[in-house]
Amino acid sequence: MKKATLFFTGISACLQFFTARAQTPTWSEDVACIVYSHCTTCHHEGGAAHFSLTTFTDAYYSRNDVKAATELGYMPPWPPDPNYRSLAHERVLTQEEIDIIGSWVDGGAPEGDPLLAPPVPIYANASQIPQPDLTAIMEAYVVPPSSSDLYRCFVLDIDKPNDQFLTKLQAVPGNRPIVHHVLVFQDTSGQAQVLDDEDIEPGYTNFGGIGVNSAKLIGIWVPGSDALETPSGMGIKLFAGADLVIQVHYPALSTVELDSTRVNIQFGTAPFMRELAIDPVLDHVVTITDGPLVIAPNEVRTFHAQYTAPIAATIPAIGPHSHLLGKRMKADAIPPGGDTIPLIDIPKWDFRWQGMYQFRHPIYLPAGTVLYGEADYDNTADNLSNPNSPPDWVWLGEATTNEMMLFYFAYAFGIPSDENIVVDDALHAEHYQDCDPAFQVGVEELQLVPALGAWPIPASDFLSVATYGRKGVVRLLDISGRAIMQESASSDVVRFNVADIARGVYFIELVSKQGSAPQRVKVLLE
């Protein structure tokens, strides 16, 4: 799902991004938009990345790293091959955008005119579910310094007396810079609580999963990911009496940190809901065809898995999983008498970047469809991620130093018309649309809210502002952020008399009574 945007300029503003530039690209006119669109969700103060890219100074001092990471395809993190299967909400730079960044760095990384730069986004590290039906918060945990990664599991008692179908779920890290990923499970056995009780500190340590075989994965958070949202009419059954269990991956730390991650859930209200399950349909035990999963020292090996669907199914998402020896993961589907349907291909597997990947439209698979998965492993010294030096035997297991081969599928009973459901209909958008000249700031990170509306642009005598029903205070700010005028947003439209105000660039800002971060858009007075 996309942040709402609003355009305040004519065709000339759009065309400038397509005009070939003889001069060196600048931060203000060319690069900031790309960085704000793709990078600063993580690279901001308090974000998941270890350095910020929100200002020209930030970007200038990190310019060589940014150029190298984008040219190598390491950033922004999007492991699946978009040419094999285009997926929803892709974090992918076009070659043109990569070239602009490279030319900017090679040309001395000029700032350009600061007045032409899009405003700096404001991030509140908020949830994408602003009014959840259920919020479960883990007990505050003191994360100790460590030279190795820590996988800590926390049991969240939600005390639900009845089964309900969740339609939205998001894990919100309490301390984003130290949280690498979060896995969310439900456990109806009570075994996770037993493991928690045996540990004197909050939670318990377990690598891989949560140490409970019967637990069901229901959600994943990785930096930059959206909340899980099920297709219309489908939901994941949250069973009465189940515990929520989250596994939080903390990277190696040099200092003591504190974390209190939470999970926000919204339940479905439709009278009839199809149950959506998330299971490792292709796996390293039951459906593997050339197991057991054992990799000898100095061996490069490929394993395969296969499963025939007994009934028609609709699959909205897929999530491959392996560990440090993994090099590639690929899955396909072949319906009876049909052509191969490519599902996902991750040609350069990276254990640090994995999640559930949604399809742009759910895929309908008739009964008898054969699912295929294959995974490559490299247990040689050439694999820089190999946990053993020299290489040693690696067996199936949950520890990071063991290996796994899992392809999680989100699936429901299939109806052919499910393929008409739109999850994401936007291929890679040209980002001048977000940034020039009315880039929306102040929107809480990942929270979907309508943009402010303003007209006419440019304004001369009066400026009208549409708030779309939100209450609070609307302010007119100068380029330095100083409030020039303000009006109460008591109606859907606020009007400013700007006839006597100096001409130039200004911002309108809504400070909401709901306590959300201020929202700004750029306006022009002439």
Domain regions of the chain by residue span: 19-123, 134-275, 278-420, 440-526
Name the nearest CA neighbour of 39 among 23, 21, 22, 58.
58
Q: What is the CATH number of domain 134-275?
A: 2.60.120.310
Contact 525/498 with Cβ under 8 angstroms? yes
Tell whether the torsion through CA atoms of 345, 349, 353 and 354 is positive or negative.
positive
> What DSSP assignment string belongs to 233-293?
TEEEEE-TTPEEEEEEEE--BSS-EEE--EEEEEE---SS-EE-EEEEEE-SSSSBSS---
DSSP state of 195: H
pLDDT at 511: 74
C-alpha 17/C-alpha 30 separation (Å) is 8
Q: Which fold has domain 278-420?
A: Jelly Rolls (2.60.120)
Contact 215/185 with Cβ under 8 angstroms? yes
> β-pairing, 181-187 with 216-221?
antiparallel
What is the SS3 assignment for 462-506?
A: EEEEECCCCCEEEEEECCCCCEEEEEECCCCEEEEECCCCCCEEE
C-alpha 417/C-alpha 436 separation (Å) is 38
pLDDT at 484: 84
- 278-420 and 134-275 share a CATH fold: yes
pLDDT at 148: 79
C-alpha 437/C-alpha 434 separation (Å) is 8
Maximum distance among all Cα pairs of the chain, rounded to whole angstroms:
79
Ranges of residues in the chain with a pLDDT under 50 are: 1-21, 431-433, 436-450, 514-517
pLDDT at 450: 40
Kindly provide the residue ranges of all beta strands, DSSP E only, lying in 341-392, ordered along the sequence.
341-346, 357-365, 370-378
pLDDT at 453: 66
State whether residue 33 is helix, strand or coil: helix
* Stated pTM of the model: 0.70
- Both tokens assigned to 365: 């698979």
pLDDT at 105: 96
- Both tokens assigned to 282: 């292709």
CATH superfamily of 440-526: Macroglobulin (MG2) domain (2.60.40.1930)
C-alpha 478/C-alpha 458 separation (Å) is 15
